[in-house]
Structure 1
Amino acid sequence: MATDIKDAAHAVEATALMKLLPARPRLLALGEPTHGEDALLDLRNELFQQLVLFVEEEGYRTIAIESDCMAGLIVDDYVTSGTGTLDEVMERGFSHGWGASAANRELVRWMRAYNDGRPASDQLRFAGFDGPLEITGAASPRQALTALHTYLAARVGADLLPCTADRLDHLLGTDDRWTNPAAMMDPSESVGQSAEAGRLRLLADDLVALLDAQTPHLLAASSREDRDRARLYGRTATGLLRYHHWMADTSPARMTRLCALRDVMMAHNLLALAARGPALVHAQNAHLQREQSSMQMWQGRVEWWSAGALVSAELGEDYAFVATAVGTIRHRGVDTPPPDTVEGLLYALPEDRCAIDARRLAATLGDTRLVRRTSPWFGYAPFDPAHLADSDGIVFVKDVPQSGRS
C-alpha cells in the first residue's frame, strides 16, 4: 500500500500538475485549507510563475485570489501600468487583511517586474474574485453602482438612463447605513429591505440591462477592457444589493442564503475571467471544491454550493480543482496527523511536499476506511476523505512553518 501511494505522488511543479488533469483547464483552481500562512502563498506564487514561464503554451496570464473584486482593480492597474506605488497598492488593493502578507507583496512586485516593457497582449493580470464582503458584513453598493452609472452616462443619451447620479446618491444615503456591523447578527439593523434599497435594486437591474442592450455601441465607443469593467461594476452592484436584502431576512435560511450568495458572486466573477483566458485561481478549499460546502455557525450548520461547484457545472473539464492539504501547523496547535486520515497517509511519505493524483489515490485505497481529521484550531479545515475522487489533485505540504516575515 505504501508503495502504491508513493506511486501516486509527483513533484510539486506546474508541468507535473498539468499532467494530472484530464484536459487543459481554463480555470486551474488551487485551494488552501487555511488562510494567512505565507508558506502556502509562496507555493502558490511558485506555481503561478512556473505556469507563466515554463507552460507558456497554456496561456496562463491571470491570477485570481479570494479578495475584493473592486479593490483588485487597483492591483491590476499597478501590475499592468505602474499606477500608484507598491505600498499604496498593498494597502488599498486587498481585502481580508491580505495586503499585509509578504507573499502577496512579492507576487505583486514580481508581476509588475515581469510586465515592465511588455505589450498589453503579453502582460500578466491580477484579479480579486470575491465580492466586497467580509464575514462581518458587506460594503455599500455606492462604489460599484456609481461607477456603472458614470460609465453609461458618458456614452449613452441621458434619456436612456433610468435615473440621475443625484438620484442614486440620494437613495444610497450614507455608507455607514450599509456597513453597520450590528446587521450581521441582527437583521433588524440592516437597511437591505428598506424602500430605498428596493428602489436601488430595480435601478441597478435597469442599468445592467442598458449595459447589455448597448453592447455594440459601447464596444465602438470604448475599449472592451472598459466595457468588461462596467460589467464587473454591474455584477458587484446587483450582487451587493441582493446580499444586503437577505441580510435583513429573519427566516431560518438567512445564513444559508448569505453564504450561497457570496459564492454566486465569486462564480460569476470566475466565469467572466474564464471568458478572458486561462487563469490560476486561489482561495480556501471550501470555495473551490466541487461538493457542497458547509460551516457550523452560531445558529447551526449551513450548507451551500461553492463557487467551484457552480463553475465546474458550467465549464466541465475547463475547470480543474487541486486541493492543498497539510500535515502540521505546529504554531497553531495542529500536530502530526493520525495515520487513518488522508493527511496521515501522506505525512508518511518522505517528501516535504508533493502533488498527488487524487483519483489514483482513491482507487489505490479502495475500501480502506479513512476518517476526517479533527483540528484543535478553528482556522484550519482538514481534508474530507469522502471527497477524494472529486478533486483533480492534491498538493500536500508536510509541515507549515511560522512565517518569520512581516
Structure 2
Amino acid sequence: MTFDIGAFLDAYAMKPGLLALGEPTHGEPAFPQLRNDLFEALVERGFRSIALESDRVAGLTADTYVRGADVSLDGAFSHGLGELPSTRDLMVFMRDYNAAHPGDRLTFYGFDGPYEMTTAPSPRPYLKYAHDFLKHGQARWAQIDTLLGPDDRWADTAALMDYRRSIGRTPQADRLREIADEMMASLAEAGDTAERHRARINLATAIDLLRYHALAAEPLPQAARTSRLLAERDATMARNLMAIRRRESDRGPTLLFAHNRHIQRNPSKWTLAGMDLEWPSAGAAVSEHLADRYVVILGSLGASPTLDIPPAPPNTIEDQLPYGLSSATNAPTATPRPATPGYFPLDAETLNHADAVLHINTGLTPATVATLIRSHPDVDELIASIDNGAPEGAWGDRFFYVGPDRRQPFATIVEHDVPGFDEDSLLDRPGVFRLNVELGRTEFERRFGFPPKEFDKHRAEYDFARADRLMPHPGYALYGWASIVSPGPQLLDEIDALVTHARARAAERHARSLRRPPAPPRD
C-alpha cells in the first residue's frame, strides 16, 4: 500500500464511522486494487464492513457468498463491478476471513440503486419479493401486477431522456407508490429477522425506483430534469449508507468506495452535452448526519494507459500532487486540469471540502511495465509473433534478455492462459496480465521462506489469481521464478528491485558465456 493508514486515522480524535475512498474515473484498475489493500489494513483496525457503488439488492447475494454459502456471484453486482478482477479478490479475502473468524464476520454492502442516468428497470421483482414475504395473497398481487403493466414500458431508456415517454406519473404509478408505502408500514410490524431485512431492502428499492420514474416524468427542461435525476440517485445512495451505518454501528466502521462525485461533501457539477448539471452529492447528505465521523479521501490520477488518459498537463493540480496519500489542506493551488472524457479533474472547491487525496501518477499496463524493464541497461525485448517463429500460444508474450543470443529470459509478461499447463492465474480475464521474474534459489527463499524445490508443499497457500501480490510462479517456481498478476503502481519500486536483481543475474550469465572458450570445430 502507498501509505500508512494507521497514522492517518490516528490523527483523528474519534474513529471515523464511515471512511470514504473515491476514484476520479471508473475503469482504472489501480484504484480498486488499492481499495482492497486498504480494506485489509482497516480490518486489522476494527473495520467490519465495506460498501461499494453497486446495487444494494444484488449486494445481498455477494454478502451471502462471503459468509460462506455455496451461491453464484452471477448477478451479485451492478455497474460492471462483477467483471473486475479486483472484485473477485475482495470476495475471496472476505470469504476466507469469515471462515477463519466465524464470530466476527465482515459484511459486504452495495449502496446504489439498480439504475443509471439512462436506465431504470421495472419495480416488479422488488415489489414481488416484499409481497411474498408479507403473504398478502394472490388477489393483492394480481392488483399490483395489473398496475405495473408490461415491464418494457418501465425499462424504456427513451423515457429517461423524454418525459413524455415516462409512465412514472400515471394514476397506476401513483397507486403503486401508495401500495408500496402500505407494505413498508406492514414490514415495520414484522419483527427484526434476516428475511425481514432482505424484504425491507427490496421494498425500499421498489420505492426508490417509483420515485425515480416519477421524476423522469416531470415536464422540465432537460438540464433541470437530468440534475434532479442525478440528485435522486445520490439521495438514494445517502439513505442506503445511513441505513448501513445504523446496522453496523455496534460492529465497527465501514469503508465506502465510489466515484469522487458521490463521496464529496460539496455539490457535484458536470458539463454534459451542453448542459451544466449540478446536484447535491451523497457525501454531502451523509456528512450532515455523521459530521466528523465521515472522512473523505479523494482519488486523483495522473495518467491511465488503460483508459487512454494522458499525463496531466504541467502546473495542474494532478501534475503537482505528490504520489500517495496527502492532506487535502496541503493540496497545490494550481490550475484545474482540462476536462477529459470519463475523467473528473480535481478542483479547489472539492479539495477544500475533503480530508485527504490519494494520488496515483499512472496506472500500469503490459506496455508500461515493459518500458520500465527496458529502461535497465542492455535489456533486449522480444514480443512473440508469427514473424519471429513463435508458437501461436505465445503470440503477444514479452520476453526480456541480456545479450543478443536470447538464450534465457530473465523476465516475461504474459496476457493469456496456457490450457492444460498455466491456468491458475486466470489470465484470460479482460485486462489481466502477469509479470514473471527469475529470482534464483537464494532470493526466492529469502522472499518466500522456502527453497524452490519445496514449492509443491506450499502451493495450496497461494491464490495465484490474486492481483497485485508477489508470489511464486504457478508453473516455474521450482526453477526460482516469481510472478505478480496485474501489478499496481504501488508496486513500482518493488518491480524495479525485482527486475534489477533478475537482470544482474542474467548479465552475469551472459558475461560467463563470453568468457567460455569457443567450442572446437567439428570435423
TM-score band, normalised by shorter chain: 0.7 to 0.9
Residue 323 of structure 1 aligns with which residue? 298
Aligned ranges 1:360-371 → 2 under 5 Å: 361=330, 369-371=333-335
AA matched with 1:384: D
Residue 146 of structure 1 aligns with which residue? 128
Residue 172 of structure 1 aligns with which residue? 148
In the alignment, does 2:332 pair up with 1:355?
no
* Distance change in 2, residues 1:30/1:190 (3 Å): same
In the alignment, does 2:212 pair up with 1:243?
yes
Contact in 2 for aligned 1:37/1:402 (Cα 8 Å): no
Contact in 2 for aligned 1:148/1:230 (Cα 8 Å): yes
Contact in 2 for aligned 1:14/1:47 (Cα 8 Å): yes
RMSD of the TM alignment (CA)?
A: 2.2
Q: Distance in 2 between matches of 1:102 and 1:391?
A: 29
Aligned ranges 1:242-391 → 2 under 5 Å: 242-252=211-221, 253-277=224-248, 278-298=253-273, 300-346=275-321, 349=322, 353-359=323-329, 361=330, 369-375=333-339, 377-391=340-354
In the alignment, does 2:25 pair up with 1:34?
yes
In the alignment, does 2:432 pair up with 1:405?
yes
* Distance change in 2, residues 1:331/1:383 (3 Å): same
Q: Distance in 2 between matches of 1:74 and 1:301?
A: 37
| 1:256-309 alpha-carbon deviations (Å, 9 max, x no partner) | 110110001100100011112221010000000000001223361111110011
> Alpha-carbon deviation of 1:20?
4.7
Aligned ranges 1:110-125 → 2 under 5 Å: 110-119=93-102, 121-125=103-107
* SS of aligned partner of 2:297: strand
In the alignment, does 2:87 pair up with 1:104?
yes
| 1:346-375 alpha-carbon deviations (Å, 9 max, x no partner) | 2xx4xxx4111112x05xx6xxx4211114
Contact in 2 for aligned 1:232/1:269 (Cα 8 Å): no
Contact in 2 for aligned 1:22/1:317 (Cα 8 Å): no
AA matched with 2:64: D
Q: Distance in 2 between matches of 1:162 and 1:339?
A: 66
| 1:147-168 alpha-carbon deviations (Å, 9 max, x no partner) | 2222222xxxx5xx99712222
Q: Distance in 1 between matches of 2:30 and 2:203?
A: 36
- Bigger drift between 281-290 and 380-389 goes to 380-389
In the alignment, does 2:43 pair up with 1:60?
no
Q: Distance in 1 between matches of 2:139 and 2:272?
A: 40
Contact in 1 for aligned 2:264/2:350 (Cα 8 Å): no
AA matched with 1:370: A
Contact in 2 for aligned 1:267/1:308 (Cα 8 Å): yes
* SS of aligned partner of 2:311: coil
- Ranked by relative contact order (alpha carbons within 8 Å, sequence separation 6 or more), the top structure is 1
Residue 7 of structure 1 aligns with which residue? none
Q: Distance in 1 between matches of 2:214 and 2:54?
A: 22
Contact in 2 for aligned 1:162/1:207 (Cα 8 Å): no
Unmatched segments (≥5 aa) in structure 2: 367-430, 434-523
- Bigger drift between 31-40 and 134-143 goes to 134-143
Q: Distance in 2 between matches of 1:141 and 1:338?
A: 46
Structure 2 length-normalised TM: 0.66
Q: Distance in 1 between matches of 2:146 and 2:154?
A: 14
Q: Distance in 2 between matches of 1:16 and 1:334?
A: 32
Contact in 2 for aligned 1:69/1:131 (Cα 8 Å): yes
Q: Distance in 2 between matches of 1:196 and 1:124?
A: 41
Residue 94 of structure 1 aligns with which residue? 77
> Alpha-carbon deviation of 1:21?
4.2
Residue 488 of structure 2 aligns with which residue? none
Max Rg structure = 2
Q: Distance in 1 between matches of 2:274 and 2:139?
A: 40
> Alpha-carbon deviation of 1:251?
0.7
Contact in 1 for aligned 2:98/2:106 (Cα 8 Å): yes
* Distance change in 2, residues 1:19/1:382 (3 Å): farther
Identity among equivalent positions (%) equals 40
Q: Distance in 1 between matches of 2:274 and 2:23?
A: 26
Q: Distance in 1 between matches of 2:311 and 2:113?
A: 36
In the alignment, does 2:158 pair up with 1:182?
yes
| 1:121-177 alpha-carbon deviations (Å, 9 max, x no partner) | 411111110001022121211122222222222xxxx5xx99712222221222222
AA matched with 2:270: M
Q: Distance in 2 between matches of 1:275 and 1:235?
A: 16
Residue 200 of structure 2 aligns with which residue? 231
Shift >4 Å, 4+ stretches: none
Q: Distance in 2 between matches of 1:115 and 1:324?
A: 29
Unmatched segments (≥5 aa) in structure 1: 1-9
* Distance change in 2, residues 1:383/1:162 (3 Å): farther
Q: Distance in 2 between matches of 1:333 and 1:22?
A: 41
